[in-house]
Amino acid sequence: MLGQLQRIGKALMLPIAVLPIAGLLLRLGQPDTLNIPFMAAAGNAILNYLPLLFAIGIAVGFAKDNHGLAGLASLVSFEILSYGAKAIDASNDLSYLGAIVTGLWTGWLFNRVSRREVKGLDFMGGSKALAVILIALVSVVLAIPFGYGWPYVQDAFNQLGVWLGETGAIGAGLYGLFNRLLIPFGLHHVINTYIWFVYGTYHGQHGDLTRFLAGDPTAGGYMAGFFPIMMFGLPGAALAMILTAKPERRKVVAGVMGSAAFTALLTGVTEPIEFAFMFLAPFLFVLHAVLTGVSLFVCYLLGIRDGFTFSAGLIDYVLNRNHATHGYWLIPIGVAFFIIYFVTFYFAIKIWDIKTPGRDEGDDGSGASSFILDEYQAGRPAVAAAAAAPSAGYRAAFTPPNTGGEERPRSQGQAYVQALGGADNILEIEACTTRLRLKVKEMTKLDEAELKKLGASGVIRLDAHNAQVVVGTIADLLVDEIKETM
């Protein structure tokens, strides 16, 4: 179940990835910014076709090896289902929810059919062509139950939206809590998708995010509370980790965590900070999730409405300032959360001697931070940078030292394959933003200490065969190299 859910979470990332450019084009083209109509029209074009992008992107993300033909099959299926359902009942609107369902079932069926050997269709692409044709035929049949049954589905989700609206601040707080708690499993986008793209309706637009961009004054209640956490709270936690580092390592920690804090403030990307303490002090991460829920609760209660297309950072805050309701209140609330996070993290790290970056005694396998900082102090910043975030000069030789007298593999892909138990142990591997998603034969063969020495922030073992390795933004490049090595 978790293995399938994490694949769904990964698949949802593909269509969501186009939102930042859509939001930037839409807002920069408005009269209150650059006043360029064609730019606003381009942003609107992306938003208007988002359901199609969801159908295509989810199918591609769910298909083995991200095969593009799955996206084509899903597009055909979504159009057949949409027009077929409307022909039966004009009130049917599959929209985002229908696109998600279509993307998932077409991706699943494509995987089942496309790997079978089919003679006579080689000139058309073999079994993959058969999968597309079969999906189109099945869609024609499914259009009948969709046409008669979708009004009940719409009504059920509308009632759920009404219930969420009635819960008010409590619902917003619970959403914030679970949004953070699901991050270690990569499942937060499952609930994000409903809130952002399904919850509520305004002039044909669905979801808190799209309604906010369409000018709905009631939208943004489920997003505003993230700004104080992303822009202020987690940078406060980063400052606490800098000041609690050992004096001789504080300068290096300040460079690493300071850049992470600035990134969180500017863009709302907080994973570099969260993964710095998520595995070392889970109770601090739970506290972080609770505080996120409190922030959303307070902001909703105060009537603050603000939104984002990328994340709750300064860029989105400035661009959406004229769309927001009481958006200026987010600044003093953010300052309060900065103080709360700093004080809480500072004393928790000191009292419980949490081994955050710069506080560990040595490279004992407890985390990657010691190895990375030692490499900086030993005058090997290139190796340390490759371990911490090897995106620049990625394919350069990777030869970190070890105590066994043997040189490690020069390819980082080879090093990761060995740490994952060898090529025979890796059944499936794919990238999802900042993590490797794995299906392995034997979980015991994963060398967690070695993975952390190579720069991984942590390993999440979902069950006996499914795992995730948090590696940062190099995940896609790393998977390519691992597959080449295998």
Q: What is the 3-state secondary structure (H, E, C) of 90-101?
A: CCCCCHHHHHHH
pLDDT confidence bin for 113, thresholds 50/70/90: confident
Q: What is the mean pLDDT of residues 295-311?
A: 94
Please give the single-letter amino acid code of residue 228: P
**pLDDT, tens digit, 9 for 90 and up, residues 441-451:** 999 899 988 89
Residues 356-377 have pLDDT tens digits of 888 875 433 334 444 444 444 4
Higher per-residue pLDDT: 297 or 323: 297
Report, as an integer, the average pLDDT of 133-157.
94
Among 206-210, 338-342, 347-351, 400-404, the range scoring the smallest mean pLDDT is: 400-404
Whether 66 is in a domain gets the answer: yes
**What pLDDT, on the 0 to 100 scale, is given for residue 106?**
94
Domain membership flag for residue 214: no
Q: Could you tell me which residue, 84 or 474, shows the higher pLDDT?
A: 84
Q: How confident is the model at residue 394 (pLDDT cuts 50, 70, 90)?
A: very low
- What's the pLDDT score for residue 311? 86
182 and 236 belong to one structural domain: no
Shared-domain flag, residues 43 and 188: yes
Of the candidates 307, 310, 355, the one whose C-alpha atom is nearest the C-alpha of residue 330 is: 307
Determine phi and psi for 435, rounding to 5 degrees.
Answer: -140, 155
- Tell me the per-residue pLDDT of 50-107, one tens digit each, with 9 for 90 and over: 899 999 999 998 887 778 889 999 999 999 999 999 999 999 999 999 999 999 999 9
User: How much is the pLDDT for 280?
Assistant: 78
pLDDT band at 3, cuts 50/70/90? low
Question: Are 18 and 56 within one domain?
Answer: yes
- The CATH number of the domain holding residue 411 is 3.30.1360.60
Establish if 237 belongs to a structural domain: yes
User: Residue 461's pLDDT is what?
Assistant: 87
pLDDT for the residue numbered 56: 94
Is the pLDDT assigned to residue 151 strictly greater than 90? yes
For 332-349, what is the mean pLDDT? 96
Q: Is residue 398 over pLDDT 70? A: no
Query: Do 125 and 41 sit in the same domain of this protein?
Result: yes
pLDDT of 382 > 70? The answer is: no
Pair 449, 383 in one domain = yes
pLDDT value of residue 179: 92
Residues with active-site annotation: 432
Residues 180 and 233 in one domain: no
Q: What is the pTM of this model?
A: 0.78
Using alpha carbons only, what angle is made at residue 259 by residues 255 and 260, rounded to the nearest 5 degrees? 120
Strands (E), 336-471: 426-432, 435-440, 458-461, 466-470
Residue 395: CB atoms within 10 Å = 11
Answer whether residue 414 is part of any domain: yes
pLDDT at 322: 87
pLDDT (average), residues 132-155: 94
In a domain, 411, yes or no: yes
The pLDDT assigned to 186 comes to 72
Q: Are residues 411 and 348 in the same domain?
A: no
Same domain, 338 and 435: no
Report yes or no on 453 lying in a domain.
yes
Residues of the domain holding 329 = 226-352
Q: Are residues 327 and 425 in the same domain?
A: no
- Domain end call among 204, 238, 258: 204
Are residues 346 and 375 both part of a single domain?
A: no
162 plus 19 within the same structural domain: yes
| Confidence band, pLDDT 50/70/90 cuts, at residue 277 | confident
Q: Which of 319, 352, 385 is the last residue of a domain?
A: 352
The least confident of 16-30, 66-80, 208-222, 384-398 is: 384-398
Mean pLDDT of the chain: 84
Contact 398, 415 (CB under 8 A): yes
What's residue 462's pLDDT? Answer: 80
Question: How many domains in the chain?
Answer: 3
**Beta bridge mates, 428:** 439
**Is the residue at 264 inside a domain?**
yes
Residues 8 and 133 in one domain: yes
User: Could you read off the pLDDT of 193-233 as tens digits, one per residue?
Assistant: 899 999 988 988 889 999 998 889 999 999 999 999 999 99
Question: Looking at the domain assignment, is residue 424 inside a domain?
Answer: yes
Of 144-153, 407-416, 452-461, which has the strongest mean pLDDT?
144-153
Q: Which of these three, 204, 235, 251, is where a domain ends?
A: 204
* DSSP code string of 258-325: HHHHHHHHHH---HHHHHHHTTT-HHHHHHHHHHHHHHHHHHHHTT-B---SS-SSHHHHHHTTTT-B
* Residue 413 pLDDT: 87
- Given pLDDT bands bounded at 50, 70 and 90, which one contains residue 337? very high
